[in-house]
Structure formats: structure tokens, C-alpha cells
Structure 1
Amino acid sequence: MSVPNVAIGASSRKDGLEAADFGDDFTHSTAVKPTDQLELSEAELKEEFTRTLTANNPHAPDNIVRYSYKERTFKHITMSQLAVHFVLEPSLLHQDSEEAQRLRAKETLIASVEVEHEAEKPETPATPVEEGEEPADEDRPDSAASKLDKKEPHKKLTNQFNFSEKATQTLNNSTQREIYDAYVKELDKQERNKDKQESKREETEKRLTADTQGDYLNKLSKAAKIMERMVYHNVFDSILHDFKYFEDPADEGRQEGTLLPLWNFQFDKAKELSVTALCWNKKYPDLFAVGMGSYKFNNQSGGLLLFYSLKNPSYPEYIYFTWSGVLCVDVHEQRTHLAAAGFYDGSVAVFNLHVKGQAPLYKSTFRSGKHTDPVWQVQWQNDDMDDNHNFFSVSSDGRVVCWTLVKHELVHSDIIYLTVSLSEKETINGASDPALIVFSACLTSFDVHKQIDDLFLVGSETGKIYKCSKSCSCQYLDVYDAHVMAVDSVKWNEFHPKVFMSCSSDWTVKIWDHTVSAPMFTFDLRSAVGDVSWAPYSSTVFAAVTTDGIIHVFDLNVNKYQALCQQQVTIKKHLTHVTFNPLHPILIVGDNRGHVSSFKLSPNLRKQPKTKKHQEQSKGPEVEVAKMERLLSPLRDSELNSVH
């Protein structure tokens, strides 16, 4: 009996099958159509609907917003649509890789072991077969037992008490003595390693102990230094009160001024040396540097670089013993822990006060362009384009050199090389020397303009002053016939951009306008002048020291012809250098016996010009420039008229 075709739903097919199975009673069942079934035409039934599968993750959010700190706004973030459905790790290996070689070696070893087991298997003797008999099934080569024996060879059981795998055996048969020696060697190696670890641990403990002791000593030394300063404040209590409060009442009834002696600074190991340089620290006005050396050619030995503080005049704060005599010192204005020094042997060095030890941080050598003659002046300059520190130096070899601190070395570049022609040689010696045409100018002093960074002055041993520029290294801009002997010092004015001052061993101090070839003022001090210094508080006040032990203090605004103060501070000693404190009304002078003395200026040496009643006291650089200009204008006009 045929089963009717049922086309509506699975339930209909099920009913039809059941009808076929259970007899004739169910053969008359018909398909039932649902009442809500949609009626479709033949064209609609044949219409195809295409659905596109994409790799986008339907669960991934698409409205995530994050704040961008770089652009300072909220930005839409695109989420990743990657969804991993299946991962299969590959089992292929490159034939030249290490893992493939290990697998190949393992397979080779297993194959060799199987071959050895096959070779060690005993051969069973064949049983004779009588005539007329057929061999048994187990003896036949094509029997099931023989095939089983071939597929699964008999494995020999190992002895559990006396067994050693062949893979663990060595290639050579070692004797008991060799094994014992190997064990002894290994024990010795372990002992040595143990000793090394113990020594390292002891060194670490010693280092930690030393660091702890160093920290303790540093704290103790700092506390002891504070106590020492407090003790010396009590010892020099009267001098400290004079420094702070004393004002000479006699200045009210006179025009002249005086110098009040304050502290004396001396170091026992510097008695045979001369004070060759003085320089105040711009950041700490109580700290100053002192260079010690000798000006005598036949008395050259080591030198000293000392740093004193007004808070403790009994002993230097820092001491550096140098290989040659120190001739000049300059402390960096911003990095006040850096001090540049020039030496008699032609070398320059930079010392770092933050680093312990006597060795300088930088030092010039012949390979790095060292001077061949003594270095008479060093001066820090503004940092270059790469923010590298640099300073200038002048020497008797005629070179003005710029030294740049680059990593761990000094890089030099010659700014200018000054020479003297044959005509100047004839003037000096009084006779011509046809064999010598040009020789180096012996430079003795140097100073850079306070406002114009490219302009600088150089003094020479012949008494000439050269005006030069950093941008012109082949020729100087101008030359002044300043003195008849060596120019010991040349200084630009702190306020006026056109004024500078020079001194010489020819007993004179001269004040110049660099636009005029003749000096504006000339002062004869009746002794060789060792050094001059402008006051930091006035454009018309300066001080000079002479070899007869006298300090001369001038104020051109008060007296253009004589010094307001001429004070004898020593008789047997020669004064070599002088400099004003940048903040306090004091100055310090050095002599040829290694002593440094400090003096306080009386009110007449630092008073401001009088003003009219009910008028405020004007201050500032413009006032100081105008004060100096009033003195120079008539002199400059008369000089120009005499030239015409």
C-alpha cells in the first residue's frame, strides 16, 4: 500500500508514517492547511533572498568615546571587530631547526635500540620433521603465532638489583681513581665559589659600613663646621659688629674717607706664595676664591686654590693643591660651584666644589691645545648655542682661546692670535732685526664688555691695549698706546658702555673712552700699580693697589684729581690684587706673602650724590651712566677739538 505524500509540516509527515505503519484505518488521513498560512504565488516562491555574512562582531560596541589629552577633546574610538573562532597550532618543523634535530636524533636512538634488541634475541633451533609428517601450525612461517612473534618480539626483563641503562653509561670506562679526582675537583670548585660569595658579601658589608660611616662623618663635619663658625663669631664679635653697624662719624666734617680693617685671612702652607687672583662668588657674597702662586720665573713650584668665607676667617672652606702656580681664577656666575683657573705652565683647569678630591674636573693638555706660556687671565662667558659652558683665556703666547666644556674634556678654539710687526720691534729694542719679521704679542690681561658680548679688550706686555671682536678672528679692531710698561689689568666699567680702565707698572691708572684714542683721566700713584677694580655700586668709584702697600680709592664724581682715600695697610709687603664685594661695602686685598685682608668703606667712599629738598633719591643704571657721562662730555669735546 502506497503512502500518500504529505507536504505540510513535520507533524503531517509523522501522521502519515504512523498511518502507514498501523494499517488501513489511517490510509484516509489528509493534509490539513493552517488557516493563517500566507498565500504566495509561484513567482514569489521562486524569488531568491541573498544574505551577506560579514566578519563584524555584533557584540562589539560602536559608541565608545574617550578623552584625548593631546587634542583636549572627546574622540570616538573604533573598537576591534576581530573574533577568533578556531585556532590550530601547526605541527610542522623546519628541518634545520634545533627542535627538528632533537626529534631526528631521538628517532635515530630509538631505531638503534630496537636493532640491538633484535640482534640480542636468541635463535630457537628448528625441530626435525619426520618423513610423512607435516609441520605444526605454530612452526609454520605463515602461521598466526609466527606472525605474532615477528610483530611483537620478546622483551628481556631487566634485573632490578644490578641494572644500568646503556644511555646513562659514559663513552669511556672511568676508573675509581678518576671518579674520586672528579669529585675532589668539584668540591674544590664549590669551596672556591663559596669563598668568593663570602668575600663579595664582606665587601658589600664594608661598603655599606663605609657609606654609613661617611654619612655619619659628613653630618658630624657639617655640625662641627657650624659650631666652629659660632665659636669664631664669638671670638671676632667686635669685628662682626663693626662690619654690620660701625660708620665713621668723622666723615661728616670732611670730604675724604677711610678704610676700617676687618678680618685677615692666611693659610700656613701659603706663606711663601703670592696672592695672584681674587674673585667673589656672585651667589654667596661671603665666599671668595684666592689663587696662590709666584710671579718669579726662578721660583716656580706648586700652587694653591683656596676658598674663604667671611663666616670663618681662620681656615679655608675648600683647599686645592695644584701642580703649578695659579695665576688667575674666575667663578661662574650661575653655576657657582665651577671655578676656572689658569696656571704658570700654560694649562687651564676647571674645579667642581661639589666633587670631593684634589683632581680638577677638566684640565687642558698639549693634545687639547694647551698654552705654551703662562695664562694671565681667565673669564667665564655665556653658554653657547648647545648650552655648553665655556670660558676665555689669554696667555703670553699671543693667543686668546675659548675653552668649551664638552662631556669629559675641554675643547679649544682660538678666538684671535695677536702678533707684533717688525716696526714695533724696532721701537722696543731701538735697533732693527732683519731676521725676525713678526713675533707673538705677549698678552697679560683681558676683559669682556658687560653689555656687548662680542667686544673685548686685551692688554699686552708692550703697554698696548687691543680692542677685538669675537666675530673677527683675523685682525683686532683698534689699538691704544696706553702705557710704557706691561698692562697689569684692564676693566670695563660696570655701568657705562664706553668706559674702561687700565693700570700698569709705569705707576699710572688711566680711564678711557673706547671711541677716543687718548685717555680721559690719568692718575700717577708714584709706585707700580698691581691691580684696579670698579665699585659695583657706583660708576665713578674705583680702587687701586700699589707695591708700596697703599690702597687708593677714587670717586670721580667728588674729586677728579686726587683719591678720596690713600691708606697704608702694610709696609714690608707688596699689594698685588684688589676687588669689591658685590653686596657688602667691603673690599679685599692680597699681598705677596699669601695674606688677604678685608676693609670696610667709610660713608664718604660710598655715598650717593646729593639731591634737592623734597626730591626722591634716584637710583639705577641710567643714573650711574648719566653721572659718568657728565664727567666725560667736556673732556671728549676738548679732545676732538684738539684733534681738528
Structure 2
Amino acid sequence: VETGTGWEEWSQGKALVRPPDQMELTEAELKEDITRILTANNPHAPQNIVRYSVKERSYKPINVVDQMAVHCVLEGSLVHQDSEEARKLRFDLHYKYLFVGFPQVNPIVDGGDVEEAADEDRPDSAVSRINKKEPKVTNQFNFSNRASQTLNNPMRVGRRGKASILCNDFKYFEDASDEFREQEGTLLPLWKFQYDKAKTLSVTALCWNNKYQDLFAVGLGSYNFSRQGCGMLLFYSLKNPAFPEYIYPTSSGVMCLDIHAQHSHLVAVGFYDGCVAVYSLKEEGQEPVYKSTAKTGKHTDPVWQVRWQSDDMDNNHNFYSVSSDGRVVSWTLVKVTSGTSFDSHKQIDYMFLVGTEEGKIHKCSKTYSSQFLETYDAHSMAVDTVKWNYFHPKVFVSCSSDWTVKIWDHTINTPMFVFDLQAAVGDVAWSPYSSTVFAAVTTDGTVHVFDLSVNKYEAICQQLVVDKKKTKLTHVEFNPIHPVIIVGDDRGYVTSFKLSPNLRKKPKAKKGHELPKGPEVEVAKMEKLLSLLREPDQNSS
């Protein structure tokens, strides 16, 4: 091994020289651990800085002082060739050559075959770097290379988790303020159902599904004869307010619908063009399984109401419809005036009511198709809705655009109760849990809830649920199980509300007596109210 000069100098040992002022320490002191703490405080930083506060009009000391001390700043001149600054420099260089001109190089001819390459042909020249095409940069938001990246799908918050507060309100919330109100109640807003393609359509029909209590059907069309077009049949669920469960577009506006009580997948629909159709939720596709035509005797005017009936002796499904053409179409035809509403008796199979445009209500029978059993001069304008009571076999309710809601005993020609709601009434519905509770909606955007056993003179709840000037309420319907109502308006929105406890009060049991239950109790409750209004001879009958 060859060693350079100086190896001997390094290989020789060197004697350690003790400083003259070195301290003499014992062995124990040498082994003692001494803790040293390094701080980042700048000893030259000022400690008494104050600043003037305009808000407090005085000088305030600054507690936090910058302790960083800069010893050296050296700015580099290197630029990454793919950076924005490098692109800018190349751009400036390009314009410099563009205006000054490229250096002229004369070719050297030696035999006529060899010529020196120009600047733009050189791979390292500035011109070649300018003309070189920039590589395309991939979008890292929507590009994924399988060899180096993993595409992660974005996580979405579920509707039920997002609306968990409303779900809890629907199931468990009870308005505690009702304890301090004797007769008044409130409506708790829950969900609003909307389909984007139905914003220009009005809600013309609502119906709950008896088998699946969270499912309801919505008919969409238009009441304006000059703006008729396509319609839509939608099915919403309380479990998913964001989007309909079923969507059926129609060639004409839907004016009415009814879901079969036993076969909940069958839906009867009446259209503005006079056709009647039956949709089945079990069938694939968007076309109805049955639809009437001119050959099969469809209506010539809009169909305003359809109702399923019990199966005939051959177990065939059948339903009835009423239209403005003056016909109630069933197994038989009944000549009436322009019909606008229709309802079958809940207990007497052959009896039904028909409301007309003239404001009259006809009590009809399937057995006698040539005459009416009774005619009531009900309203001064068209009868929008007529419905039998769920419990009392003699009571029905009607509403009209003449601002009134009337309660009737079908054995008496005059109404038992008359309520003026100060606006055109779009719809009225009986409660399925009480014989004395019903709700009505008006065109001024108000929902009215009545309980005749609590107050016989006015509503126990009057609540504005939409914009009074721009939106009109068209329909209302009670859920058959839950204390929930759905309300539709002329802008295609359906809003659900939960009834407060005061709107569904139950009678209190006396001490030592068990609270009676069953439909007989509801019948007796309504009968007690009617007996106060009937004549003595009418009560005996």
C-alpha cells in the first residue's frame, strides 16, 4: 500500500495538553448528569412592544414577539424547467428572438454535401425548446392510473342519517306546549316531497296506501284548462323524501286516483281527457295495464273522482268514476249533472254520493240507476269534495269554493254544521282515528283542523304552511295509522305534517271505570253532537 507524504505525522501519537485553567473535579462530580435546556428565544428580540388600539383608544402591550432571527438569505438563480416561472422566461425569450432576429449562420460548402444545422435543428437550442410541444398534464381529480393510483369513490351522507332529527320528530316528538293550550294545536313540519320534472304541475290527487303505511300516491296535472299537457303519477315513501319510489309519466294530466284497499299494487287513475286507467306496481314499464278508450266508453270530459269497489260475484275488480260529462260510470250509467266528486259509503255497499258543479249533492244507489235517493242543495258553487265519515253511517262532509265546509246527516236535507273558512276550500278529509276530527285546506295556504267534540264553532288549529300570495293548497289526506297528514299545492309540492297531541285527544276515563274502545265509542261521540242539533222527532227516528 502506497501512502502519501504525511502518513507518519498522523500515525504518531499526540500528547493531550491540559488547559491551565481546567477545573479539578472528583470522580463523582465527573459522573454527575447535568441537564441543559435549549430555548428558541431570541436574546435580541424586544420585550416591551406596544401598539395603539383604535377600539380601546390606548396603547396595548404585545404578548407574542417574533423570536426568529435571520442570519443569512441567499436567493438561488436555478429555475425548474416545468415551473410557471420557466415557461414565462421561455416566452420572453421567444419574443426576443422574434423581434431581434435569429443569428444568421452561413453554410460551409465543402464538396456541396455538408451544411451546418440551423439553431432550430439543434436539440439544445433555445428555439428547439420553444417549438417543443408541452406534455399534456392529466387532471388529477378525474384521472387515475391503475399502476400508481387507487380511485376512491366519494362518500355520501345517507338521507335517513342526514334527516335523523326529522325521523325522531316523526316518531317520538310531542309538542309540550300543548299542555298550556286548552283547545288549540299546532302542526309540526316534517318533510317536503318534490320531483324536479314536476315543478310546473299541480298536485291534483293524494292517496295513502293501506298496506304500506309509509307509501302514498301523488297525481300531478293542472286545473287550468288553457294550460293542459302531460301529467305524472308518483309514489313517495316517508323513508325516502328525496326521490319518488315509482314514476309514471302520462299523456294527459292526472285528476284523481285511488289505491285498492286489498290489492295495494293496483291504482285507478282518472285523466283530464276523460280516460280512466289502472296501473300495477308489479308490472315493469310505465304504461297502464288497463286503459279506457272511445270504443270502450271513456268519458268526454275530465274525470274528477275514481273509487274502488268490492269485487263482484265473479271476483273481478271494479271501480267507479265520475266526470263533468254527467256520467257516473260503473256496471250501469247514472245520468247526473256535471259531477266533480264522488264517494262510496263505508258500510252500505250500494250507496254513494256525487257532488256536482251546480253545488248539489246527490245520494245515489247502485240498485236504482234511474233516479236519485236524495238531493241536497249543498253549496252555491261547485262541490270540490264529498266524503263519508269513517265511523258514523249517517254523516258525511262536503266542501266548496264558496268558502264553506258542511257536515251532513244524510237523513236530513239541511246541514248540521257550517264552517266559513274565509277562502276557497280545496279539499277536506276525515280523520281515520276519530269520528269528530277532520282537516280542510284553503287557497290562502292554510290548513284547518277541526275537532267537533272539543270546539263546535271554529277550528282548533289554523296554520299557514305555504306562501299566502304565491301558493294555493289543493289536497289533504290523513295517514291511516300514524298521526301524519300530507298536503299538496299547485306548485307540485307535497308537505307532510305531524299532528300535535291536542289534535288527537282521547277521552279521559273516569275513576274506577275502564276507558271504552272500539268504533262504537266514536259513533256514540258523533251521535251525541248530532242529537243536540236534531229536532225531537228526528232523534226518535
TM-score (norm 2): 0.70
Give the match's secondary structure for 2:332: strand
- 1:636 is paired with a residue whose SS is coil
Partners of 2:233 and 2:421 lie apart in 1 by 30
Query: Of 321, 336, 345, which aligns to 2:249?
Result: 321
Give the secondary structure class of the aligned counterpart of 1:244.
helix
- Does structure 1 residue 268 correspond to structure 2 residue 196? yes
**How far, CA to CA, are the matches of 2:358 and 2:229 in structure 1?**
27
Q: Would you say 1:246 and 2:164 are equivalent positions?
A: no
Residue 462 of structure 1 is matched in structure 2 by: 358
Aligned ranges for residues 179-218 of structure 1 at < 5 Å? none
Amino acid aligned to 2:341: S
Match for residue 421 of structure 2 among 525, 528, 533: 525
Partner secondary structure for residue 158 of structure 2? helix
State how far apart, in whole Å, the 2-side matches of 1:541 and 1:615 are: 25
- Name the CA distance, whole Å, in 1 between partners of 2:445 and 2:310: 36
Name 2:508's counterpart in structure 1: 610
How far is 1:361 from its partner? Answer: 0.2
How far off is 1:636 after superposition?
1.1
What letter is aligned with 2:381?
A: M
Alignment of 1:496-535 (within 5 A): 496-535=392-431
Query: In structure 2, what is the equivalent of residue 396 of structure 1?
Result: 324
Query: Relative to 1, partners in 2 of residues 1:346 and 1:566: Cα closer, same or farther, differing over 3 Å?
Result: same
Counting only pairs closer than 5 Å after superposition, residues 334-349 of structure 1 correspond to structure 2 as 334-349=262-277
> What does 1:33-72 align with in structure 2 at a 5 Å threshold?
none
| Aligned: 1:232 with 2:171 | no
SS class of match (1:522): strand
* AA matched with 1:633: S
Q: Deviations over 1:282-302 (max 9, x none)?
A: 000000000000001100000
Alignment deviations for residues 518-556 of structure 1 (CA, whole Å, 9 cap, x no partner): 000000000000000000000000000000000000000
1:304 Cα deviation (Å)? Answer: 0.3
1:618 CA displacement: 1.4
Tell me how far apart the structure 2 counterparts of residues 247 and 443 of structure 1 sit (CA, whole Å): 41
Normalized per residue, the structure richer in helix is 1
Answer whether contact 1:396 1:444 (CA < 8 A) is retained: yes
What is the match of residue 481 of structure 2?
583
Give the deviation of 1:614 after TM superposition. Answer: 2.8
Q: What CA deviation, in whole Å up to 9, does each residue of 1:369-423 have, x standing for no partner?
A: 1100000000000000100000000000111112xxxxxxxxxx333112xxxxx
Q: Distance in 2 between matches of 1:565 and 1:614?
A: 33
* Residue pair 1:554, 1:564 contacting (<8 A) in 2 also: yes
The structural deviation recorded for 1:336 is 0.5
1:294 to 213, 217, 222: 222
Establish whether residue 544 from structure 1 lines up as the match of residue 440 from structure 2: yes
CA contact (8 A) 1:508 1:524 kept: yes
C-alpha deviations, 1:147-175, integer Å up to 9, x for none? xxxxxxxxxxxxxxxxxxxxxxxxxxxxx
Aligned equivalents of 2:263 and 2:509: distance in 1?
A: 40
Counterpart of 1:492 (choices 380, 388, 394) is 388
Please give the alpha-carbon distance, in whole angstroms, between the structure 2 residues aligned to 1:417 and 1:564: 40
> What SS does structure 2 have at the residue aligned with 1:635?
coil
Matched to 2:407, the amino acid is: I
CA distance in 2 between partners of 1:333 and 1:604 (Å):
30
Equivalent residue number for residue 309 of structure 2: 381
Which residue of structure 2 aligns with residue 621 of structure 1? Answer: 519
Amino acid in the other structure paired with 2:170: F
**Aligned position for 2:460:** 564
Which amino acid is 1:278 matched to?
Answer: L
Say which of 322, 334, 341 aligns to 1:416: 334
Distance 1:516 1:639, change over 3 A: farther
Tell me how far apart the structure 2 counterparts of residues 355 and 563 of structure 1 sit (CA, whole Å).
44
Match of 1:601 among 484, 491, 499: 499
Match of 2:150 in 1: none
Task: Give yes or no for the alignment of 1:447 onto 2:339.
Answer: no
| 1:21-100 aligned within 5 A | none
Take 1:640 and 1:400, find their aligned partners in 2: how far apart are those partners? 31
Is residue 262 of structure 2 the alignment partner of residue 364 of structure 1? no
Q: Residues of 2 paired with 1:232 and 1:616: CA distance?
A: 43
Output the CA distance in 2 between the equivalents of 1:287 and 1:639. 46
Is 2:513 the partner of 1:637? Answer: no
Distance, in Å, in 2 between the alignment partners of 1:638 and 1:393 is 38
Return the offset for 1:611. Answer: 2.0
Q: Distance in 1 between matches of 2:389 and 2:320?
A: 19
Letter of the structure 2 residue corresponding to residue 448 of structure 1: S
Deviation per CA, 1:273-318: give whole Å up to 9, x if none. 1000000000000000000000011000000000000000000000
* Counterpart residue number, 1:284: 212
What's the offset of the Cα at 1:619?
1.3
Q: Distance in 2 between matches of 1:490 and 1:597?
A: 23
Return the letter of the residue paired with 2:499. Answer: L
Q: Distance in 2 between matches of 1:507 and 1:611?
A: 37
SS across alignment from 1:305: strand
Structure 1 residue 358 displacement after superposition: 1.1
Deviation at 1:640, TM superposition (A): 5.5
Confirm or deny that 1:477 pairs with 2:373: yes
In 2, the alpha carbon distance for the partners of 1:497 and 1:582 equals: 19
Are 1:399 and 1:416, in contact at CA under 8 Å, matched by a contact in 2?
A: yes
C-alpha contact 1:251 1:603 (8 A) present in aligned 2: yes
The amino acid of 1:338's aligned partner reads: L
The one-letter code matched in structure 1 to 2:504 is R
User: Residue deviations 1:475-515, cap 9 Å, x none?
Assistant: 11110000000000000000000000000000000000000
TM-score normalised over the length of structure 1:
0.59
Deviation at residue 610 of structure 1 after TM alignment = 1.8
Separation (CA, whole Å) in 2 of partners of 1:388 and 1:507: 40
1:289 maps to a residue whose letter is A
| Pairs aligned (count) | 382
Distance, in Å, in 2 between the alignment partners of 1:271 and 1:631 is 43
Q: Which has the higher contact order (CA 8 A, sep 6+)?
A: 2
RMSD, aligned CA: 1.3
Deviation at 1:639, TM superposition (A): 9.0
Q: Distance in 1 between matches of 2:262 and 2:381?
A: 36
Given that 1:258 and 1:567 are in contact with CA atoms closer than 8 Å, whether structure 2 keeps it comes out as yes
User: Aligned partners of 1:600, 1:482: CA distance in 2, in Å?
Assistant: 31
Secondary structure in structure 2 of the residue aligned to 1:272:
coil
SS at match of 2:532: helix
Q: Which amino acid aligns with 1:451?
A: Q
Matched-pair identity in %: 69
Q: Is the 8 A contact 1:399 1:414 kept in 2?
A: no
Partner SS for 2:534:
helix
Q: How much has 1:573 moved relative to structure 2?
A: 0.7
Aligned counterpart in structure 2 of residue 330 of structure 1, from 255, 258, 266 = 258
